[in-house]
Amino acid sequence: VRIAVLGTGNVGATLGRRWSACGHDVCFGSRDAGQPRLQPLLKQTGCRACDWPAAVEQADAVLLSVPWKSVFPVLQQIAGVVRNKVLIDCTNPLNASFTGLEMGFTTSAAEQIAERVPDARVVKAFNMVSAATMADPQYGAAPATLFYCGDDAESKAVVHGLAEGIGFSPVDCGPLSHARLLEPLAMLYIHLAFHGWGSHCAFQVVKRSGSFLPTETEDDDC
Ligand SMILES: NC(=O)c1ccc[n+]([C@@H]2O[C@H](COP(=O)([O-])OP(=O)(O)OC[C@H]3O[C@@H](n4cnc5c(N)ncnc54)[C@H](OP(=O)(O)O)[C@@H]3O)[C@@H](O)[C@H]2O)c1
């Protein structure tokens, strides 16, 4: 997959590094593609860096990994070139003090992004896992769960593959409006991380066979 990674911080650098190591064609989009801070990352990955629109132009999928306050300025610049591309939104609409979300219940960051760039195929993903988990999703015998949601099946399949390829256990959570559930989940993760769990913690969803509700049919053992 040709991937534009917009933002070269904790998330962008980590996922860009990992996808590039898997053989994907990664181009970093940066406010300043020539900044010295980027040189070790570019040297290590062999990837290139350019401005946001140039990175998006040559990509099939775009990871939006900038702070929430920068999302709309970035979208404004890439609106003309993001048409039909998979736009992976890993952002969380954190308030200025990082103690809560700026929205929820009736909308989400992902839906606001989709409204702003209606031609893009937005998938919410990677927002509820830490950069440390992105670097290595394996926890003991089981991989961390990666919840994602979106309205376009083809785009979700691309994101599923990108997540699975770096070791996550991806779970489709339905339509993009379910970002209203995934963004607060990130807030829960942040709370745990700052209250003893640290960045090396992640959610895992577990499943077993059997039925419990009257509407379920198999293995009714109640
Ligand atoms: N950190 C995590 O564990 C984590 C996990 C899940 C989701 N997220 C979400 O992912 C997004 C990126 O998080 P991050 O931890 O990677 O952030 P970060 O380390 O601060 O990096 C963000 C990058 O975005 C670019 N950027 C564009 N406008 C900016 C501005 N006004 N100020 C600062 N940087 C700007 C910068 O790259 P250039 O200098 O190259 O432009 C910067 O390196 C956020 O929305 C966050 O909520 C974070």
Question: What integer is the mean pLDDT of 198-213?
Answer: 94
Tell the residue nearest (CA) to atom 29 of ligand 1: 70
Give pLDDT tens digits for 12-40.
999 999 999 999 999 999 999 999 999 99
Q: DSSP string of the chain? A: -EEEEE--SHHHHHHHHHHHHTT-EEEEE-S-TT-GGGHHHHHHH--EEE-HHHHHHT-SEEEE-S-HHHHHHHHHHHTTT-TT-EEEE----B-TTSSSBS--SS--HHHHHHHHSTTSEEEEESSSS-HHHHH--EETTEEPEEEEEES-HHHHHHHHHHHHHTT-EEEE--SGGGHHHHHHHHHHHHHHIIIII-SS--------S-B-STT--TTB--
Mean of the per-residue pLDDT values of the chain: 96
Q: Name the pairing type of β-strands 25-29 and 48-50.
A: parallel
Give pLDDT tens digits for 114-170.
999 999 999 999 999 999 999 999 999 999 999 999 999 999 999 999 999 999 999
212 CB burial (10 A radius; 0-12, 13-18, 19+): exposed
Question: What integer is the mean pLDDT of 61-90?
Answer: 98
What atom of ligand 1 comes closest to residue 73's alpha carbon?
Answer: 28
Ligand 1 binding pocket mutation candidate from 8, 48, 66 (most atoms within 8 A of CB):
66
What atom of ligand 1 comes closest to residue 14's alpha carbon?
Answer: 16
Task: Tell me how far the alpha carbon of residue 7 lies from the centroid of ligand 1, in angstroms.
Answer: 6
Ligand 1 binding pocket mutation candidate from 11, 123, 187 (most atoms within 8 A of CB):
11
Percent of the chain with pLDDT over 70: 97
Q: DSSP string of 152-206? A: -HHHHHHHHHHHHHTT-EEEE--SGGGHHHHHHHHHHHHHHIIIII-SS------
Tell the residue nearest (CA) to atom 25 of ligand 1: 7
Check residue 208 and give its pLDDT.
94
Q: Does residue 87 surpass a pLDDT of 50?
A: yes
Q: Does residue 221 surpass a pLDDT of 50?
A: no
pLDDT band with cut points at 50, 70 and 90 for residue 213:
confident
Q: Which residues line ligand 1 (CB under 6 A)?
A: 7-12, 30-31, 65-68, 70, 90-92, 94, 126-127, 130-131
| Predicted model pTM | 0.95
In this structure, the dihedral spanned by the alpha carbons of residues 79, 111, 50 and 77, taken in order and rounded to 10 degrees, is: 30
Task: Tell me how far the alpha carbon of residue 167 lies from the centroid of ligand 1, in angstroms.
Answer: 22
Check residue 222 and give its pLDDT.
39
Tell the residue nearest (CA) to atom 21 of ligand 1: 9
pLDDT: which is higher, 213 or 187: 187
pLDDT band with cut points at 50, 70 and 90 for residue 212:
confident
Percent of the chain with pLDDT over 90: 93
